[in-house]
Amino acid sequence: MVGNDLRQRLRDRSVFIFSLLVPLSLMGVLNLAFGGLGTDGPDLKPATVIAGVDDSGQLGAALLDAVGSLKIMDVTIRKVPAADVIRETRDSGADLGIIIPAGFTGAVTSGRAVTVQLVEGADAGLETSVLVSLVDGLVDQFGAGMVTAAAAETAGLPHDAIAAVAQQAAAGAPALTLSEGKASAEQLSLKGTLVAGQSGLFLLFTVGFGVLGLLAEREQGTLARLKSMPVRAGSIIIAKALVGFILGVSATAVLLTVGTLLFAVSFGSPFVVGLLVLSISAAATSMTFIVARLVRTAEQANIAQSILAMVLGIAGGAFFPIEASGAIAAFMDLNPVAAFIRGLGISAGGGGPADVVIPMAAMLGFAALCTLASRLVPDRGTQA
């Protein structure tokens, strides 16, 4: 029965449409609409800097080279005479103007005060702020050379040695560096949440094809003939549920794989992801047991399955994260779609099988409750 039903479902184009084509299309649309959100930072546009350098020493050129080699955005430096920097910055729409005075290198290495003038463009934006912060940090570093020179002169070092020590302090690498680390928050990125959420949502539709097969057998009268055969009645229900379970596992695995490739997201260990897929497929399949007993026709089952899928999907965060606290949050954690997304977040953060026990327990607990409830609900199909 399982093999025969699977062959029938695979010949039915609606399985591929609702299980793969529709969710993949929806993922693409949502990614275009919201894919720019949740990124690590804003995209900086290319910037133009008008520079007037009267300094003939090494530090003036080093300051300008550091601005031009900024890694987080493209910076174009156009050199003009120092007297024309203000006018060119305003007229050309450049982001920043820099005036490095004559004797800048000598002043830094000898400990004399010196001023670097910055001119913000008329349309100054985030790029200008970044450039100003960079120049400010570089000038502070060069200021360390002035302090070093003053200290060396107080200590009685020769003038040649003072210049060398001050230049090394101004242009050298810092003695201490800060390395920023990032701990796993066990939360998926926006794109990862879209892929996981849509996979979980449409899984609820996919497993419904099993119960639709059962109701089709009932409407066509073949279910009664199956029950007359020397097989247990329960095995017929199990066969139909197994068809939905297999379709759900297969479609979800394909959606997660394709989503990983198309949207450049990672869900971690394939073994852990597989456990989560099996768990949510079991939860979704158990829900069809209740639907099969509450409705009389395949059309009614399709409507009921769609309503349940949309309610659980939206409440579980299939389209956007749902924030809640207290008792409401605890109740929402029982939602298999929410548990599936949370489990994938843990897996994406490097979690192993032991770390996803709670999400799996929520999904399997949901499956157990639905299976038990289906035994208590009157079978309206047999009463019709």
Work out the burial of residue 221: count CB atoms within 10 Å of its CB; fewer than 13 is exposed, 13-18 middle, 19 or more buried: exposed
At a CB cut-off of 8 Å and minimum separation 6, what does 161 contact? Answer: 152
CB count in 10 Å sphere of residue 170 = 25
Range list for CATH 3.40.1710.10 in the chain: 47-171
- pLDDT means over runs of 10, the chain (384 residues): 73 76 80 58 76 83 81 85 88 87 78 81 80 80 60 60 55 48 60 85 81 66 59 69 86 89 86 93 86 76 82 82 67 84 89 91 92 80 50
Print burial letters for 22-46: b (CB count within 10 Å at least 16), e (below 16).
Answer: ebbebbeebbeeeeeeeeeeeebee
pTM of the model: 0.60
Q: Which pair of tokens denotes residue 236? A: 């017929």
Put residue 350 in one of left, alpha, beta given phi > 0 → left and psi -120 to 50 → alpha: left
The domain defined by 47-171 carries CATH number 3.40.50.300 = no
User: Residue for token digits 């649309």?
Assistant: 29
| Residue 175, pLDDT score | 45
Pairing between β-strand 47-53 and β-strand 96-100 as defined by DSSP bridges: parallel
| Residue 183, pLDDT score | 44
